[in-house]
Each structure stands twice: as structure tokens, then as C-alpha cells.
Chains A and B, each alone.
Chain A
Amino acid sequence: MKITVAIILTAFLAYVTGLYSTLPWWSFAITSLLVSVAIHQKPGKAFLSGFLGLFLLWAVLAFLKDSANEHVLSAKVAQLLLKSSSSIAIILLTGMIGGLVSGFAALTGSYLRK
């Protein structure tokens, strides 16, 4: 239960922060850390909720953009960054990047509380 709330809150706050497009892209690292301080979990679970919160948010947002775009741009970026034509790969990479930063930020938050 706690982990679900943490994931949702992490994703929600990251999304809201992202709406302020003058803020840097990594602003969610701060909100993810704060969520982890507020909803205290063991380090492993904290990392997981931080990771999943952003992985899901970014992958879903990317997926929605990609579907509406009929994969025109994701195919080109996949070619550019991954030498592949897989739109899914670039969506997963997007989720992973957001997830990793958020996960470590949440892990830091968890240690901060102990």
C-alpha cells in the first residue's frame, strides 16, 4: 500500500514540476527525494518506488506522444541514439533514464530519514 502511494505521488509531483518548463529537467529528483522522506520506506522499496514512479510517468507520456505521432520521430531518434529503428526501445530508454535518477534520489531520501 505504502509503495503504491509513494509511486503515485512521485509520478504526480514529477508531472506537475514538469509543467513548469523553465525549471530544469531534473527537478523531479528533488520531489522524488521529498516523497521518500515523507513516506518512509526501506532503502530497497524507496528506490523501487522512486524508479517506478518516473519510469511509468516518462514511459507513458512518451508512449502517448509516440502513438499520436505514429512513430515518426521516435524511429529517427532510435536510429540516432541506438542505431535501431525500435520506437519501443527509445520509450524504454526514456523511462529508464527518468527512473534511475528518481530511484537514486528516493534512495537518498530514505537514508536521510534513518
Chain B
Amino acid sequence: MRIVPLLISGLVTAGLVVALNTQLPVAGSKTPRLGYFLSPQLGFWQNAEPANADFSGEIKLPELRGKVDVYMDDRLVPHIYADNDLDAYFTQGFLHAKFRLWQMDFQTYVAGGRLSEIVGEERLSTDRFFRRLGMVYGAEQTMANMDKNPVMKATIDAYADGVNAYIKSLKPEQIPFEYKLLDYKPETWTPFKTYLFMMFMSYDLSGRGATADLQLTNAKNYFGYDEFNKLFPNVEDSLDPIIPKGTAFLKPSIVPQAPANVDSAYFGKTRNNSTAMAPMVPDKDNGSNNWAVSGSKTKSGRPILCNDPHLGLNLPSIWYEVQLNTPTQNTYGASFPGAPAVMIGFNDSIAWGETNAGRDVIDYYDMQFKDSTLSEYMYNGVWTKAEHRKEVIKVKGKPDQVEDIAMTVFGPVMYDQSYKNISTEGKYLAVHWMANVPGTAVQTFYDLDHAKNYDEYLQAISTFVCPGQNFVFASKTGDIAIKQQGAFVARWNRQGDFIMPGTDSSYAWQGVIPTDENPMIKNPVRGFVSSANQMVTDTTYPYYLGAANNFPLFRGFTINRKLAAMNGITPEDMQHLQMENYNSFAELARPVLMRYVDENKLNGDEKKYIDILKNWNLKGDYGEKGATVFKCIWDSLVTAIWKDEFSDAKLPLSWPDAPVLLQILTHDSIYAAFADNVNTLDIKETLQDDAMLAVKKAVVKLKELENKNMLEWGKFKDTRVNHLLKIPALSRMHLPIGGGEHMINAAKEAHGPSWRMIVHLTDEIEAYGVYPGGQNGNPGSKYYDNFVDTWAAGKYFRILFLKKEQAAKHEKIKWHLTLTNS
């Protein structure tokens, strides 16, 4: 035996195994364990799904009550035929897990503040933010509430059982790709995870206030209330609300009263409540379009309902198409992997869809504690005991992080001495959020899936708490309707826009607006209903809706104008309308902008781009150069006008919305003081100066873009669909699609129409749908992203909505999966 070479080769072998069995840090992230990851029998190769994979089969699952037939069509959409509802939801859970397990699990890690468990301390700030906001607390509240409802408890439980039946069937080498990449394992699914996922949607759609309220407070303190009120107004010129102007509203049952000291203690100029950004802020344009046209405006004489929810564009997609057929329902639509039922869709009788209401349902209260133990706080003149909640965050490779959160009458104390930033020093901010009060989560969707008519639709949505939505409705019997539903705070003017004093009940919520008083309209004379996240009513509605900058104006404006002009509508017309790239903001802004541009003072290059702008057709189609020119000049102008004042604040402030600047330009002088650059003391800039400066600066950028061949709008905005881990190799980059902000087709950089649906309520329902993803969440499947090109091209799939006997022999049905209990 030669001891030295033996030792050396033995050590090299062991060293290789250890190195290849370790996640190595490379360029800010970590590699997978390469030996494991590349092993053909265990690692990623096992996720390389054969192109001709067979999804048929027969599986025995003792949890089932009866037999379930799943027919999968050529797009891998399952059509589930079950003897009873619970088996259908069990099967939905099983299929969500089979095709989306990593995604649904990961989303609940995000929502529950557990990312550090997977990736380590670099995500600790996100976890702490979500824990302290009360994401886990809120999910517990709603779950406790819904567990009292036997039908919903059984539904959520059956769904969880289905997910777990699949997880149990997995061999180690079969776990999804991303687990292998990040090196962790699936865990048991629980009903609680469904509630956590719904909390994530609540945050995404109603959590902006967690950041916005702080920024608005900063802005109010910095500019003073009067100036602030001009920059962030309550109403905007060109408002075309969801409920048409002139509609009469019920007499309010709650008349919220502003506290007596509101001017000094709330609107006052105390420069003390200000703070920084959350680590993860929901997109301002989380919004969407929906509309329904009545038979009076369609070619067939039957209603057509359309919906395209705008969310972050992700792979795997947030949506999963499914048909649920049981003795009590026959439903088709888009479901959330992570929850039972169909969220946006149709059944044999009705169709429905949602857009975000955008109402403010999250507020901060400035609390006063007796001492740093946070055991007692001042409330209505007495020291009141605060419960404490411990949130334990596990951190990969590090000790646990424990969040000790004081709970008040308003909710968790999110900011305190242990969780603060540049300007919350010394402040104890409790957060009162509608998502943290006991809600109903999936119940409304369960009920909509089963609803047969207008009354049942109204009943179904009446229980919906958070995040408030505009529920659009159409029925085969010819009704159309829209209602904004959620538990909305009955607010006095500006209540909750800023941090409120929390030492007594005078600033507390004074009630929730009864559902009957939520704005709604049925079968209006104009023959259509619509919403696009704009303000729901005009100012005659008796409750305060929130600052206008929560409500984008222009998509709704375009939709209403187009629909009003249309007649003899077909589903194809509706497809074109969902893909409309007309920018009605630019329609208003371009002429106003041009008033300030002195063309005689332009050089050759500048003239060239201004000519492109002047000749632009106002559309954000892929190849339009004018859209890029407009965007660059407008953004330069925005910077020229706001940047000096807003940067001076040295605190996070959001800038005023586009309509505010448009109003300034339209009326000139009103707030023209902002045109002056505060950094140039000897010069008084005018709006003309700012506009000329904007053109000159934009032209530098535009020339750069043109040299890189990126002047065309689609190339400039460069839409992509991100993998949830933001890994480019797993994402779809550089998609050939137009659209964007202010356009109906709101396809922005990585945000936009996440599911386009059109339902024609003829006797045999004629429906179309598409989403930018694919049914299979496995990046190793050809069904991972096979809808993306169709989506980008503005094309649709004809939806198969089949009776069981049709499904068995339909030419587009490719696979038959049977689930039985014996």
C-alpha cells in the first residue's frame, strides 16, 4: 500500500464530493449542489418531461368519496367530473400540486414571512415586514372565522387533502425543479396555507397603503397640508367613474365625523411622522379591466362579459385553468394554485370577473407606550395592556430571528424600536388593515361558482371582505351588473391618508359601509358596465373614497368611450378591445405639451423627434416610435418639474400623478411655482423653460435608443414574463407585444394582463381565454410557457366547456385520468 498517494486520492475524492454537495456562493447567489443537481437519476434531468408525456392513468386515493374522471385537453386544461363537490376540490388540489407544487408552496413562504428559511438572511427584511404587518395573524383570524362554516371548512380541507395526496406520492427524484435548484424539500400542505395565499393576494391588492400612507404623511409634512392638497387632490378633472355620474345613492347609514382636533393634530404641519419604503411594494398598477355589454349592444342579442386582471407577469403563472363539474355546479375559469374554486370564470348560467377597487383599507396609528417593554399603551385616558405576539423566523444557517410584536386595539405595532428606519425613530406605529380582521377568503368565489342568477351573484359577493373588488356580472338571461364590494371603512374626508393619532378612539374606524350602500349598477340604459380601477363614483357618493392618486383614470376613459360607440358587438370585437393600445392620456397631454414647445428654438435632431411625436397615432403598438418619444419627453418634463422640490425633502415621497401635472400644464399658472428650479436661485424657470429642457434631455436619450435600434415602443418597454425567482433562464424575455400604462392592453415591463377572458352568454357558452404562461409549472415541460406567444400576439384559445359525455370523445381531449378510492 502506498500511503501518500492513497491519502491524496482519498482526500481528493472526499473533497470533490463535499464541494459538489455544497451550495457554493457565486456572484451574489448560490449554486445548487452540483453533484446532486446534475445527477441524471436524482437531479434536474428527472424534471425533463418527455415531449410526448402521457398524463393518462388510474390512481387510487382512499380519501375520495366517489369516482372522479379528469379529461385533459391539448392545452393541458383539466376538465374535472366528480360525483360531489368535495371530490372535485380534492382533485383540484391534487392537480394544482401535480402541476404547480413548487409555486403554490413558495407563494405561502413569501406570504408567511418564511423566505429566510429557504434562502438565508438576505430575505430577512421581507420576512420581518410581512410578519410585522400581520400576514400570519390575519390568516389565522380568517381561518378561525371560516372554520365555523362547515361547508367552507370541508372544502378547504378536501383541497388540502388533495394536495397532500400528491405530495405523498412523490419520490425524492420527482420533486419539482426549483426545490432541487434551491436545495429544499416540499412540506405537508395545510388548510392554513390557503389562507396565507389569500393574504398574499390581499397584500398585493390592498397593501399599497402600508407604504403610501407613510409617503403621503411625509409629503404632507414637507409641503404643508394646503400645498399637499393641490399635489395629491381628491378629485380629478377628467374623471369618468365606474358608476356613471348622476346615479343616485342611498342615504348613508353611517355619517363619519372628523375629530375636533383634526386640523392641528392630523392635518397640521408637525414634521415628525415620516418613514421609508417597504421592502416589497405592490405595483401601483395592480388593477385590471372588466366590462359587460348587454344584448342590446351585441350582434347575437346576448351579453358578453370580459375581464383582464393586471398583475405581475410571472412564470409559473398565478392562474391555472380548470373546469369543475359536479351535480351542484358546472364551472370553468381561472383558479389560484393554492386555493380551491374558480376565481374568474363562468358556469352554465352566469359569468363574472373582478378588478381591484383600490380603496384604502390600511391605516397607521401613532401609539404611546408607557415604557420600552411595550406592555401598556395609552388609550382613551387609561394605560391599556398590550398582548404580545411572538413571530419566530427561521433563518438558513443562522439562529432564529424572533419578532416580539405588541398588539393594540388597532392591530399589530408594526414599527417600534426594534423595527424602524431613518425617520420612524421613537415612533410606535400600529397598523389597522382590513385583511387582518376576520374575512371570508374563498367563500365568495365558492358561491359565485354555484350562483345561477343575479340575486345569487349579489348574495355571493356580499360576504367579500378584502381586498375590495369590482365584481362584474352577466347572465344568460340577459342581466349585466357591476358592484364594488369589500368591507370598506366609512371615512371622513382624508381619514387614514396619513398616520393618525392612536391615543384615543377619536381617529378609529367608525364603521364599515353596509354592503347595500356599496356602489353598484344593474342593466344601465347605456347598455354596458365597466371598471378599470378608476374612482368608483363621483363626489356625490356620501363616503370618502381615498386620494385620487389611488385611481388610474385613462384606461376606464378609453373603455367607456369605445363601448359607448360600439354596436352589434361580437366576441372578436371584444378581443380587439382588450388588445387596444390607444393612449387617451397622451391624447390629452400631447397638445398641451406642444403648447410649451417653441419649435423655432429646436435644432435638427430635436425637430426630427418632435415631428415623430406630432405625427404619432397615439397608439402604443409594438412598432410605434412616437410612443417612445412621448414617454421620454413626458418623463423628462416630470423630472424637471418635481425633482428639485421632492428630492429636497430627503425622505421617501411619491411624486404626484400624471393627471396632476397635466392639470398644471393645462391651466398653467395654478401651481407654476413648481416649474422654478429651487436649486437655481438667480433664475426663475417657467413651464416653457422646463418643457424645452425636457425636450433637449429626452432627445439625448432618444438618439441613444435609436442607435441601439430600440426606438420602437415594444423594444423600448421590453415586456417580459419573470420566473418567480427572477431567473432570466427560466423567464420569457423581450416579448413582441405593445401596450402599457394608460392603455387598455396594460402590458408593461413585467406587469399586465395576467388572464384575458371573454364570455359570450349564448345558450352554449362561447368563451375565449389566454394567459402568459402554461398549465404546467415545470420549466422542463413544453407546457410551461406554451401560451406566452399566443398571449403576446393578442390571440385567444377557444375554451372547451364540455359536458361529461362530450369530453369522453372530444377530439381535443388528449388524456384521461381516473381517480378512485378502491
Determine if B39 and A18 form an interchain contact, defined as CB atoms under 8 angstroms apart: yes
Determine if A72 and B782 form an interchain contact, defined as CB atoms under 8 angstroms apart: yes
Alpha-carbon gap, A18 to B41, bound state (A): 6
Question: Using a CB-CB cutoff of 8 Å, which residues 53-74 of chain A contact chain B?
Answer: 57-58, 61-62, 65-66, 68-70, 72-74
Alpha-carbon gap, A62 to B780, bound state (A): 13
Please choose the segment from B316-324, B634-642, B724-732 that sits at the chain A interface, where 4 or more of its residues have CB less than 8 A away: B724-732
Interface 0/1 of A31-65, CB less than 8 Å to B: 00100000000010000000000000110011001
| A2 at interface by CB-CB < 8 Å | no
| B21 at interface by CB-CB < 8 Å | yes
Interface 0/1 of B23-42, CB less than 8 Å to A: 00000000101111011111
Closest beta carbon of chain B to A20's beta carbon, Å: 9
Determine if A98 and B39 form an interchain contact, defined as CB atoms under 8 angstroms apart: yes
Determine if A111 and B45 form an interchain contact, defined as CB atoms under 8 angstroms apart: no
Closest beta carbon of chain A to B34's beta carbon, Å: 6
Alpha-carbon gap, A65 to B43, bound state (A): 12
Query: Within 8 Å CB of B49, what residues of A?
Result: 69, 72-73
Determine if A108 and B9 form an interchain contact, defined as CB atoms under 8 angstroms apart: yes
Alpha-carbon gap, A100 to B38, bound state (A): 13
Determine if A72 and B784 form an interchain contact, defined as CB atoms under 8 angstroms apart: yes
Closest beta carbon of chain B to A13's beta carbon, Å: 13
Determine if B17 and A21 form an interchain contact, defined as CB atoms under 8 angstroms apart: no
Closest beta carbon of chain A to B413's beta carbon, Å: 42
Name A94's closest neighbour in chain B (CB-CB).
B38
Query: Within 8 Å CB of B784, what residues of A?
Result: 72
Question: Using a CB-CB cutoff of 8 Å, which residues 290-332 of chain B contact chain A?
Answer: none
Determine if A80 and B16 form an interchain contact, defined as CB atoms under 8 angstroms apart: no
| A9 at interface by CB-CB < 8 Å | no
Determine if B40 and A61 form an interchain contact, defined as CB atoms under 8 angstroms apart: yes
| B20 at interface by CB-CB < 8 Å | yes
Alpha-carbon gap, A113 to B728, bound state (A): 49
| Contact A104-B12, Cβ < 8 Å, known A26-B21, A111-B6 | yes
Alpha-carbon gap, A29 to B9, bound state (A): 12
Determine if B2 and A79 form an interchain contact, defined as CB atoms under 8 angstroms apart: no
Scoring A65, A73, A97 by chain B CB atoms within 10 A of each residue's CB, the highest score goes to: A73
Q: Tell me the count of chain A residues lying within 8 A, CB to CB, of chain B.
A: 42
Determine if A72 and B780 form an interchain contact, defined as CB atoms under 8 angstroms apart: yes
Name B10's closest neighbour in chain A (CB-CB).
A108
Determine if A97 and B729 form an interchain contact, defined as CB atoms under 8 angstroms apart: no
Determine if A101 and B16 form an interchain contact, defined as CB atoms under 8 angstroms apart: yes
Closest beta carbon of chain B to A69's beta carbon, Å: 4
| A1 at interface by CB-CB < 8 Å | no
Determine if A111 and B729 form an interchain contact, defined as CB atoms under 8 angstroms apart: no
Determine if A77 and B729 form an interchain contact, defined as CB atoms under 8 angstroms apart: yes
Alpha-carbon gap, A29 to B15, bound state (A): 12
| Contact A97-B20, Cβ < 8 Å, known A25-B39, A29-B13 | yes
Determine if B48 and A66 form an interchain contact, defined as CB atoms under 8 angstroms apart: yes
Determine if B48 and A72 form an interchain contact, defined as CB atoms under 8 angstroms apart: yes
Name A109's closest neighbour in chain B (CB-CB).
B9
| Contact A26-B17, Cβ < 8 Å, known A21-B172, A108-B9 | yes
Partner of A94, one of B33, B45, B172, B727: B45
Determine if B6 and A61 form an interchain contact, defined as CB atoms under 8 angstroms apart: no
Name A64's closest neighbour in chain B (CB-CB).
B40
| Contact A111-B1, Cβ < 8 Å, known A21-B41, A69-B49, A97-B34 | yes
Query: Within 8 Å CB of A61, what residues of B?
Result: 40-41, 45
Alpha-carbon gap, A66 to B51, bound state (A): 10
Interface 0/1 of A88-114, CB less than 8 Å to B: 000001100110110011011001111
Partner of B171, one of A21, A29, A98: A21
Query: Within 8 Å CB of B17, what residues of A?
Result: 26, 29, 101
| B781 at interface by CB-CB < 8 Å | yes
Closest beta carbon of chain B to A75's beta carbon, Å: 8
| B5 at interface by CB-CB < 8 Å | yes
Determine if B50 and A69 form an interchain contact, defined as CB atoms under 8 angstroms apart: yes
Partner of B5, one of A24, A58, A111: A111
Alpha-carbon gap, A33 to B10, bound state (A): 10
Name A76's closest neighbour in chain B (CB-CB).
B729
Alpha-carbon gap, A98 to B10, bound state (A): 16
Determine if B6 and A108 form an interchain contact, defined as CB atoms under 8 angstroms apart: yes
Query: Within 8 Å CB of A107, what residues of B?
Result: 9, 13
| B173 at interface by CB-CB < 8 Å | yes
| Contact A70-B9, Cβ < 8 Å, known A94-B38, A94-B45 | no
Name A15's closest neighbour in chain B (CB-CB).
B41
16 extra A-B contacts, CB within 8 A, seeds A25-B43, A114-B2: A21-B41, A29-B17, A62-B45, A65-B45, A68-B48, A68-B51, A69-B48, A72-B49, A73-B44, A73-B48, A76-B729, A94-B38, A98-B39, A104-B16, A111-B9, A114-B6
Smallest CB-CB A-B distances: 5 pairs:
A73-B780, A18-B41, A79-B729, A69-B48, A61-B40
| Interface pairs (23), CB distance under 8 Å | A18-B40, A18-B41, A25-B42, A58-B40, A61-B40, A69-B48, A69-B51, A72-B780, A73-B49, A74-B48, A76-B779, A77-B729, A80-B727, A80-B729, A80-B730, A81-B31, A97-B35, A98-B38, A100-B16, A111-B1, A111-B6, A111-B9, A112-B6
